[in-house]
Amino acid sequence: MAKSTARFKDSEAEFRRLCGEIDARRFSPVYLLMGEEPYFIDVLCEKLAGGILNEAERAFNQITLYGRDTDGGTVASYCRQIPMMGGYEVIIVKEAQHLPKPELLATYTANPLPTTILVICYKEKSADRRQQLYKSCAANGTVFESVRPRDYEIKDWLGGFVRSKGLEIDPSCVELLVNHLGCDISRTSNELSKLLVSLPEERRRITASDIETYIGISKEFNNFELCRAVAVKDVKRAMTIADHLSRNPKEYPLLLTIMALFGTFREIFIVNYLRWRERFKRVPFPTDAELLGHLRSSNMYALRDLKQYSAAWNNRKVFEILGLLREYDGKSKGIDTGGKSDGELLRELLLKIFM
């Protein structure tokens, strides 16, 4: 299967466009919603499920099927039904990646009825672009590919999500959430939604205290504070935080902690390389705005601290640490752990970083 070249920012822009079209009741006869990031697929599916027909019409003209429990021919048969009342018949196929005989459904999507809206939710991966189902959906309907964000993209999305709710969020809180929740948009959205419901009406800005109160992420013991302690070489505080994280493995999985540390040392490496280039190549050190571009970040708040503590690290040592983090990334997934727990692996990793 040809590798997708879609990018997260393209997915996000297309998602907003499709939401606008659905709100304006401009529907396609076929929607193929596919990709590794479930959040956009779920939101679009919910908007279509609740926005095409009214409640009375849905009882007669809306059917939800699951890929494991049906097949392409059965879905096509439902799609060819005439609406009993109202303007549309709506057929939603969830978990379509497990759908047997998709080629039989392709015979319908090649010539869809104008009175039927078919929504195919193909999650966890993208449909094979070589198959007739994909080709006919692309030719006669709408194909949306949902791409997972990179670590440097999730922060901008999170800030935009909060602003879309009419609120602001402290930059340090964005770092706190990303280091705790990773690049999982669905989980991040759920946690923020719970916070927004609980936040007092008069509050227009989310703070670290709100996150600790309503989401349960400690202001003192979290991946963000661990990265800061490691960056300033505060061994005692780093080990104290690591001990807390180790006692809460479900809240702080080792993989996310390693990803957070990798992001920190990646930024240190970039800043130090740019300093080396200035010193030996006579290339001017970038402005803050240019530096944010090199770092693929929009967080001006953390830039001053980054420039300060990166000077304490030699890039040869940083390069070794990045290699260590790749090694422990494998260990966090169960590769060559030597029977050690995640807490033991984290403490071992930190001691090697500080040595």
Q: What is the pLDDT of residues 195-215, one digit of tens each?
A: 888 888 888 889 888 888 888
Instruction: With a cut of 80, say whether residue 351 has pLDDT above it.
Output: yes
Residue 237 lies inside a defined structural domain of this protein: yes
CA distance 237 to 232: 10
* CATH code, 203: 1.10.8.60
Residue 182 lies inside a defined structural domain of this protein: yes
Of 230, 215, 201, nearest to 173 by C-alpha is 215
Mark whether 28 and 102 lie in a shared domain: yes
pTM of the entire structure?
0.74
Tally of domains in the chain:
3
Answer with the one of 93, 126, 146 that is the final residue of a domain.
Answer: 146
DSSP category for residue 98? G
CA distance 156 to 12: 11
Average pLDDT value for residue range 86-108: 93
Mark whether 343 and 236 lie in a shared domain: yes
Mark whether 21 and 67 lie in a shared domain: yes
Longest dimension (CA), the chain: 76
Is residue 218 within 8 Å of residue 207, measured between CB atoms? no
CA distance 329 to 182: 14
Residue 316 lies inside a defined structural domain of this protein: yes
Instruction: With a cut of 60, say whether residue 2 has pLDDT above it.
Output: no
Mark whether 135 and 15 lie in a shared domain: yes
Q: Tell me what pLDDT residue 140 has.
A: 96
Residue 1 lies inside a defined structural domain of this protein: no
Average pLDDT value for residue range 264-285: 93
Instruction: Please state, in angstroms and as integers, the Cα–Cα distance from residue 175 to each residue in 70, 95, 145, 223, following that order.
Output: 44, 33, 27, 9
Answer with the one of 121, 146, 171 that is the final residue of a domain.
Answer: 146
Of 219, 255, 224, 28, nearest to 141 by C-alpha is 28
Give the mean pLDDT of the chain.
Answer: 91
Q: Tell me what pLDDT residue 218 has.
A: 84
* CATH code, 271: 1.20.272.10
Mark whether 113 and 184 lie in a shared domain: no
Residue 3 lies inside a defined structural domain of this protein: no
Mark whether 249 and 212 lie in a shared domain: no
User: What confidence category does residue 3 fall into, taking pLDDT thresholds of 50, 70 and 90?
Assistant: low
DSSP category for residue 3? P
Mark whether 163 and 234 lie in a shared domain: no
Which residue's structure tokens are 């193929």? Answer: 32
What's the domain range around 261? Answer: 228-354
Residue 32 lies inside a defined structural domain of this protein: yes
Tell me the pLDDT tens digit for each residue of 5-14: 678 989 999 9
Mark whether 78 and 203 lie in a shared domain: no
Instruction: With a cut of 90, say whether residue 165 has pLDDT above it.
Output: no
Average pLDDT value for residue range 333-352: 93
Mark whether 245 and 127 lie in a shared domain: no
CA distance 262 to 122: 32
Mark whether 164 and 127 lie in a shared domain: no
Residue 2 lies inside a defined structural domain of this protein: no
Instruction: With a cut of 60, say whether residue 1 has pLDDT above it.
Output: no
Mark whether 25 and 116 lie in a shared domain: yes
Mark whether 91 and 186 lie in a shared domain: no
Q: Tell me what pLDDT residue 317 has.
A: 95
Residue 161 lies inside a defined structural domain of this protein: yes
Hey, what are 224's tokens?
């963000």
CA distance 261 to 268: 11
Average pLDDT value for residue range 47-58: 93
DSSP category for residue 89? E
Answer with the one of 219, 244, 278 that is the final residue of a domain.
Answer: 219
